[in-house]
Amino acid sequence: MSSQEEKSTYEWEDVMGDYALVPVAPQALRSTMAMFVIFTGVLACIAALWGGGVLGLQFNFRDMIIVATVGTLIQGVIGALTAYIGGSSRLSTYAFMSWPYGRYGALLWGLALAGITCGIGWFAVETWLFGIMMHDLMPGNPLMGVGVASIWGGLLMMTTAAIGIKGIAFLSYLTVPFWVVIAAISFSSGIMVSGGWEKVIMLQPVSPTPLGLGIAQVVGLYIAGATITSDVSRFSKDPKGGALAWLVQVLVVENFFLIGAGLLTLGMGGTRITEALLAVGVGLGAYLLAILGQWTTNDNNLYSGALNFTLLSPVSRRTLVIILGLIGTAAAAYVGFVAGASFDPFIAFLTILGSFVPAVGGTIIADFYVYRGLYKKLPPAERYKLKIGDKMPEVNLTGWISTAIGGALGTWVITAGIPSINSLLIAFVIYIILAIALDKAGVQLAFGKFEITKRGLVPKWFIRRRGE
């Protein structure tokens, strides 16, 4: 079918906006390069350099490379697999989670993962880090206090998220080259202040940490984003291209950011990355880093979060972006006024994310690639395909059970190995065993039926409220 024919046969009505609950229309699809730039624009944030800076406090140069590489590899594999799902189905994360979790299950897990964790949670964390950076840049200015800067910074960051994917893509094109330069400056400055490669290799961190915990922190830095890559990759013309775009930007660009920032803080003897950048003379660059970097990340946090709140409210996605932004800004300001510039909330947040969230990815990957792929032998485009007239389960307990057990065991029970991998693998294995065993026994843990209409997964109460 030609592109023009595909456009003319598009049968969906996008009543929520930005294809939140229906497949993306052919005319809205973008190239692999566009996917790469958008993904990298999301990665280009203070948290990426801050996370690398924390590595410089905890590991020597050799161990830092190991931790960063293993952590980004885990992110890369999970994100590439979920990105391919989005490209194949052209559905948002919430929409295709309806298969392994059921429609209500997708609502709850989607809210927990993308709506709260990524949407409000990461937005609040990033806004708090923005406040810290502004404070480091101008510590004597009352407008640059951590709490105060979090307030005006959070309000600033809502703008392009309200515009949607076009605004995010445009801003990403502007900021990505700048971030590569900043990371390169961090890397070279770290070598310079350390006295050369020979001394860099001999440097020891101020707070030595086990490798497994460091890997969990790296995974936690971006694992929520890795699990919801489909919110971007669903716009990809080529499903494999969207997956490749994610994989390359994580393994190459994120590693570059992490190691560059880590090397600088290691060489500076434990100084915060913001202070280290200022110490090597990146004054104006640090200002642009704070403003543009947080902007490109937090607009995407709010954008993805709003997609998963669309089923709770009859208001538009743009209005939800503003509501989430105000809540996240308030949370960031509270932490800023209470915790100030302490590292503790950031490290705790990363550790929990990196340990539990991979269980969601393990469940989704098991359902799409093994249960519906290898076992049911469905082609990729048919595994998660919305069809008008089909009925979707309201609840699928198979996904709930595997994610809950995998996350709990991998995070709090099993102490050996890497928590993020443990959570993912346990959920992956449990889902496969349950789904296949139940199917062979003719038993279903799925309940309720929701009929798909031309409006996709839009709830009936929303249509009734519109008076249709």
| pTM across the whole model | 0.82
Stated length of the chain: 468
Q: 412: Cβ–Cβ under 8 A, 6 or more apart, which residues? A: none
β-bridge partners, 451: 391
> For residue 255, what is the enclosing H or E element?
helix 255-267
Q: How far apart are CA 153 and CA 242, in angstroms?
A: 31
- How many other CB atoms sit within 10 Å of the CB of residue 287? 14
Paired tokens of 70:
């293993």
Per residue in 204-243, pLDDT (tens digit) is: 998 899 998 888 888 887 887 788 899 899 999 999 999 9
Query: What does the alpha-carbon distance between residue 193 and residue 175 come to, in Å, rounded to a whole number?
Result: 27
Question: What is the pLDDT, as a whole number, of residue 459?
Answer: 79
Do 452 and 390 contact (CB within 8 A), yes or no?
A: yes
Structural contact between residues 401 and 434, judged by C-beta atoms closer than 8 angstroms: yes
> Which has the closest alpha carbon to 258: 39, 64, 27, 456?
64
Q: Could you give the CA distance from residue 119 to residue 412 in angstroms, rounded to a whole number?
A: 25
Residues 41 and 172 sit within 8 Å (Cβ to Cβ): yes
Query: Do residues 30 and 220 lie in contact, with contact meaning Cβ atoms separated by under 8 Å?
Result: no
CATH of 14-361, one of 3.40.930.10, 1.10.10.60, 1.10.4160.10, 3.30.420.40: 1.10.4160.10
Cα gap 423→343, rounded to integer Å: 25
What percent of the residues of the chain are helix, what percent strand, and what percent coil, each to the nearest 5? 75, 5, 25
CA distance 211 to 305: 31
Dihedral class, residue 209 (left if φ above 0, else alpha if ψ from -120 to 50, else beta): beta
Contact 121, 349 (CB under 8 A): yes
CA distances from 377 to 70, 101, 360 (A): 32, 20, 23
Structure tokens at 144: 């640059």
- With beta carbons less than 8 A apart as the criterion, state whether 447 and 393 touch: yes
Which residue type occupies 370? V
Residues 6+ apart with CB under 8 A from 196: none
Q: Is 229 exposed, middle or buried (0-12, 13-18, 19+ CB in 10 A)?
A: buried
Distance CA 450, CA 467 (A): 20
Give the residue from 200, 258, 234 showing the smallest Cα distance to 73. 258
> One-letter amino acid identity for 418?
I
Per DSSP bridges, beta strands 446-447 and 391-392 are unpaired
Quick one: pLDDT at residue 389?
94
Q: Are the beta carbons of 235 and 161 closer than 8 angstroms?
A: no
Burial of 461: CB neighbours in 10 Å, binned 0-12, 13-18, 19+:
exposed
Query: Mind listing the pLDDT tens digit for each residue in 28-46?
Result: 999 999 999 888 876 656 6
- The candidate with the shortest Cα–Cα distance to 269, out of 204, 353, 225, 323, is 204
Candidates 137, 88, 18; CA nearest to 372 is: 88
Inter-residue contact 78 to 226 (CB < 8 Å): yes
What does each of the 468 residues of the chain score in pLDDT, given as a tens digit? 555 555 568 999 998 777 988 999 999 999 999 999 888 876 656 677 778 888 988 999 999 999 999 999 999 999 999 999 999 999 988 889 999 999 888 878 777 766 666 667 778 888 888 888 788 878 889 999 999 999 988 887 776 666 655 555 555 556 667 667 777 777 787 778 777 777 888 889 988 999 988 888 888 878 877 888 998 999 999 999 999 999 999 999 899 889 988 888 888 876 667 677 777 766 566 566 656 666 766 666 676 677 667 656 667 767 787 888 888 889 889 888 987 767 677 667 766 766 778 899 999 999 999 999 999 999 999 999 999 999 999 999 999 999 999 999 988 888 777 787 889 999 999 999 999 999 999 998 999 999 999 999 887 776 665 555
Could you tell me if 176 and 249 are in contact, meaning their C-beta atoms sit under 8 angstroms apart?
no
Rounded to 5°, the CA angle 447-449-453 comes to 155
Please say whether the dihedral angle defined by the alpha carbons of residues 419, 101, 319 and 295, taken in this order, is positive or negative: positive
Domain ranges across the chain:
14-361
pLDDT tens, 393-445?
999 999 999 999 999 998 888 877 778 788 999 999 999 999 999 999 999 89
Average pLDDT, the chain: 83
Cα 353 from chain centre = 11
